[in-house]
Structure 1
């Protein structure tokens, strides 16, 4: 516990450095201070009521720690590391006996960006910015990659939980938390194994009716079947980290579109044409005469005015601004102008593409309009958003019809 590199020490340091709003109590054999925080030899010696324990001990020691936590009335436990099958069963039985909400064993930890909490109980070097996406995975390896990925691409996170190898991502407690949490606007699940897609779909359908739920899966026959079941429950099926975070950034910040009419404004004719063909392949309709091409040398005001004109026609449900940065324009100024323009239309689904610029811009405007590097990724994200909007309207209609018929 007192050595750099040990899981317990590093998690405690992460909690301290991230600014955890509660009290921290290191518990280990000697009871000496750790990271400058007074230590204790046992959980029973803690001076105040405790909500959560993070267990970095292995095997039977983890079971003993959870048992002692249960006797002390602690309601939650995160167990890092992996034990053998028999030890895992004993640990799970102890958690059930004391009604402890258990994360793990084999967890990579939990993370919460709520400023009232500020909880980083993970071993990750990456800390994603605050946002509206809740993340859940099984294995530690996926957790490492996931937190690094969302940090690098600027995808804001509300919370993260690594449930442990082989654990259920459709846990009722987690779903209830995401359902009621005001900071969570979308949920992304990253299963290591296919599991039971029908069970997962049934578990998350009530959540899908309120917030988007995304799942990353493969491309084989089993994944196609699973994807079909998930789609029936509103789950958004994706195939990669890039695809799921691209879609999540759109779903978290943008209103759901009322239809499939897309207006594209670009300052590079050939690239705009490519984007239009991609949009048609995804099922979008581009009303005749609504899109706009501006000159490659056009300034920020001219590009923003073109976007405003398209957005104000009343003939589009979504708008995509495609900007190519050159030595003849100022991408940062264009992004600022677009932000002012699109913020005046909060009901319009919008996305921006910025190519040819070294500026690391992930979002613009007070409503965090997502900025992408490639037009195909932006259009794919818009397509996921549109399909989810269709499902939400269909689901709401079906629920209303059942209520009117007096059926549950």
Structure 2
């Protein structure tokens, strides 16, 4: 039987020099492609692979190499365009070991092809149950040994009979994951650098008619005085805007690094192929008519990206404004915007093309300046995550601004932001908060989490989320030019009582600590402002200067004094300076472009305070330890995985346990063992347990799963009669609780009877609950927690974009109704768990306020860390609810646990080997 082709192994990848390639399994139809590839190899490459000369491959060898079973024999190839440029393969030796070998065409060696192929082959091997690779390598083949050693896996080598045998343990390690992330970072940063620093630009579709899209881009390139040659491409014109034109990209007599495509959508694919033939390295597609127009346009968009990536090109757009780089060595304005701000310290990413023009104008009006700008449009290829990788290392960028309409890989964004925010602030505006929708045409999925969760996850990653673009620029001009505040103490100095009082109110609302404002009077000049600010700064963490003179005239003197004192004080100083907005020339350090130390001005002091509050929270986040997930004792992840796999594989109704549960796991009593009736499934969990993709385990099975992570669920016995309830209470120990067993029924008021200390109380409570809930109600008995406790709820959801997300809230009715919940991505560090506990508005009830005794917060945090570890280890856990979790003065007790298991259908968005979405 012919082996089934594993299409899910296909991937587009970014190579170390920023180009792209396509990785896929080999097929029998690749026979001629393999022969051609082999013919281009050098004698040395062939010698290292086969340990001797082999001028050509025999037909038998070609058949063997291209016909594999994708299980015991697997080969992956890398292609650029239609040509194979590399191949890697393994052949199984025994159940857990396979021999690995690879070949890279000489012209493409040094581009990181082998390392990315090894990542992908290791993933396929693990999928097929292979734990180790072995490779026999000639001692002179240092390149192959380097690839194997530098992969980050545990490696061993021994020398015998003139050959080095290397063995790689394919279990992912912290080192291998760091290696993968580092290579991804360098490759994606390089791919963006190639776009933003081209040596030459072609504008395809630059017509002679003024106002056309192509001619607009061309004139903006020329107007910015781009430092390289610019080539208009027009099928008929000899010159456009006074510059010689060419009939096609391939007709250009010089090299082309970047091409701007401004042709009708149905002609873009042909131009992309021309660009590939010419050796162009990047594309900006400003043309519309793609995903935003509907299914036909989306198919055209997907084809555009497929072809571009296949030939090694990254794509900005389509339907975008373009890109700009203000570096004097480049001076690139490949956008439709005539106004591009001057040189600055801010990198700016915008998905919207239409909005981008207005945004650039706003930045220019404020006098801020940018380092570079990218409008991604439909973000079919290049995304905000790519730009984060670039700006992280860009010495010209101190602050990163993101205007996001969608998130293509939210989990990757969170990973990158958490790392980058330690060095550079990221200020985000995310639209669609009320709907969480995705604009038509964007290559992204709708987020399943509420907007409050998204804000919490931004906060966890250190990204500063603001409500609108005005706030984004307000915060950016502070972060780009002033130091971070060390705390919340704010000093206010000015010449207006009214404005100072507004600033005080704004500080209190924002959680800052204002000092009594210093009012200098309407006639105060430079000396008074300088002296007051100098005496104030040592006592505060930041200062706001308000200069609104009734009679203008001495602004330059006051500004110079403010700059002098602020520079000597080393603390952030903001101003409301004559109502100006942005970076006034009088308050700049530097001539034309504001440099570090320049003082930002705001139209009103409340706006200055609002920006300062964001900076204070960000500075506080940076001061916290980064934290790393810790290994909790008593965790058996392998056993937990085995249980989940058995549960998902078992037919409905069959016991999948396969053995005794771990010590301490309660076994839910059934009607046969305790004279009780089985509880019905809840409405939300009434997914057919027999479906291959999803299963709702029993409470006992969930308890067993949790026990593998050191978490105990108190046993509850479902009872069908008053006498069965009394018997259960005798077994569990008095006092007990009698409650509705159905979680949906439990949401109704009065469905729990507490503190039942004897048989008569249990019988009376049983009759009372049946009268309230109906004669068919199913009830359960559970031992009562012996101390006062605060009810809480811990949940996990496997989000398609973010992966495993842990939520926490209090179990009080009011807190539930108000959705007073906090969220964090799994796995959780100790710091994450502490923030999760502190974040709900009702959290003071856990810390001894409002008459409640202090509870075991540290034990609650440990529970959250363990739940986070479970969620991160097991993507099959699509949902998990621990409800209620009672937090007492000395212990935490889990009284109820429900879960939904589902086959994930592939690695998480940020999991597995490197690949472009």
Q: TM-score with structure 1 length normalisation? A: 0.90
- Tell me the secondary structure at the aligned position of residue 255 of structure 1: coil
- Determine which of 455, 458, 464 is the counterpart of 1:230: 458
Q: Is structure 2 residue 589 aligned with structure 1 residue 361?
A: no
CA distance in 1, matches of 2:580, 2:344: 25
CA distance in 2, matches of 1:363, 1:397: 39
Q: Is structure 2 residue 492 aligned with structure 1 residue 264?
A: yes
8 Å Cα contact 2:302-2:380 kept in structure 1: no
Q: Is structure 2 residue 251 aligned with structure 1 residue 28?
A: no
What is residue 382 of structure 1 aligned with on the other side? 612
How far does residue 358 in structure 1 lie from its aligned partner after superposition? 11
- Determine which of 79, 96, 121 is the counterpart of 2:309: 96
What is residue 505 of structure 2 aligned with on the other side? 277
CA distance in 2, matches of 1:387, 1:68: 50
Q: After superposition, what is the alpha-carbon deviation per residue over 1:55-94, rounded to whole angstroms, capped at 9, x for unaligned? A: 1112232222222212222211100122312211111011
CA distance in 1, matches of 2:586, 2:427: 21
- Determine which of 622, 628, 647 is the counterpart of 1:392: 622
CA distance in 2, matches of 1:251, 1:169: 26
Gaps of 5+ in 2: 1-206, 291-296, 436-449, 590-596, 632-917
How far does residue 296 in structure 1 lie from its aligned partner after superposition? 1.2
How far does residue 269 in structure 1 lie from its aligned partner after superposition? 2.0
8 Å Cα contact 2:285-2:317 kept in structure 1: yes
CA distance in 2, matches of 1:292, 1:229: 39
- Tell me the secondary structure at the aligned position of residue 190 of structure 1: strand
How far does residue 250 in structure 1 lie from its aligned partner after superposition? 0.7
Q: Is structure 2 residue 554 aligned with structure 1 residue 330?
A: yes
How far does residue 7 in structure 1 lie from its aligned partner after superposition? 0.8
Give the CA RMSD over aligned residues: 2.6
Aligned residue runs from structure 1 range 12-91, under 5 A: 12-82=218-288, 83=290, 84-91=297-304
- Tell me the secondary structure at the aligned position of residue 230 of structure 2: coil
CA distance in 1, matches of 2:472, 2:363: 10
8 Å Cα contact 1:336-1:365 kept in structure 2: no
Q: Is structure 2 residue 524 aligned with structure 1 residue 295?
A: no
How far does residue 179 in structure 1 lie from its aligned partner after superposition? 0.9
How far does residue 390 in structure 1 lie from its aligned partner after superposition? 1.2
Q: Is structure 2 residue 360 aligned with structure 1 residue 147?
A: yes
How far does residue 400 in structure 1 lie from its aligned partner after superposition? 12
CA distance in 2, matches of 1:86, 1:122: 25
Q: TM-score with structure 2 length normalisation? A: 0.41
CA distance in 1, matches of 2:326, 2:581: 28
- Determine which of 312, 315, 329 is the counterpart of 1:116: 329
What is residue 386 of structure 2 aligned with on the other side? 173
CA distance in 2, matches of 1:183, 1:356: 30
How far does residue 169 in structure 1 lie from its aligned partner after superposition? 7.2
What is residue 405 of structure 1 aligned with on the other side? none
What is residue 533 of structure 2 aligned with on the other side? 307
Q: Is structure 2 residue 539 aligned with structure 1 residue 352?
A: no
8 Å Cα contact 1:139-1:163 kept in structure 2: yes
- Determine which of 395, 399, 403 is the counterpart of 1:190: 403
Q: 1:195 to 1:14 in 2, by over 3 A?
A: same
Q: Is structure 2 residue 360 aligned with structure 1 residue 157?
A: no
How far does residue 246 in structure 1 lie from its aligned partner after superposition? 0.1
8 Å Cα contact 2:342-2:364 kept in structure 1: yes
CA distance in 2, matches of 1:32, 1:87: 30
What is residue 406 of structure 1 aligned with on the other side? none
8 Å Cα contact 2:257-2:280 kept in structure 1: yes
CA distance in 1, matches of 2:603, 2:219: 35
Gaps of 5+ in 1: 403-408
Q: 1:400 to 1:267 in 2, by over 3 A?
A: farther
CA distance in 1, matches of 2:581, 2:373: 30
> Aligned residues, how many?
397
Q: Is structure 2 residue 209 aligned with structure 1 residue 3?
A: yes
Q: 1:207 to 1:326 in 2, by over 3 A?
A: same
CA distance in 1, matches of 2:338, 2:554: 34
What is residue 212 of structure 1 aligned with on the other side? 425
8 Å Cα contact 1:300-1:333 kept in structure 2: yes
- Tell me the secondary structure at the aligned position of residue 26 of structure 1: strand
What is residue 542 of structure 2 aligned with on the other side? 318
- Tell me the secondary structure at the aligned position of residue 221 of structure 2: helix
Q: After superposition, what is the alpha-carbon deviation per residue over 1:376-406, rounded to whole angstroms, capped at 9, x for unaligned? A: 1101111111111111122x5426999xxxx
- Tell me the secondary structure at the aligned position of residue 551 of structure 2: coil
- Tell me the secondary structure at the aligned position of residue 105 of structure 1: coil
Q: After superposition, what is the alpha-carbon deviation per residue over 1:187-229, rounded to whole angstroms, capped at 9, x for unaligned? A: 1111224666545323433222221111113554833221111
8 Å Cα contact 1:53-1:76 kept in structure 2: yes
8 Å Cα contact 1:269-1:293 kept in structure 2: yes
Q: 1:176 to 1:25 in 2, by over 3 A?
A: same
What is residue 243 of structure 1 aligned with on the other side? 471
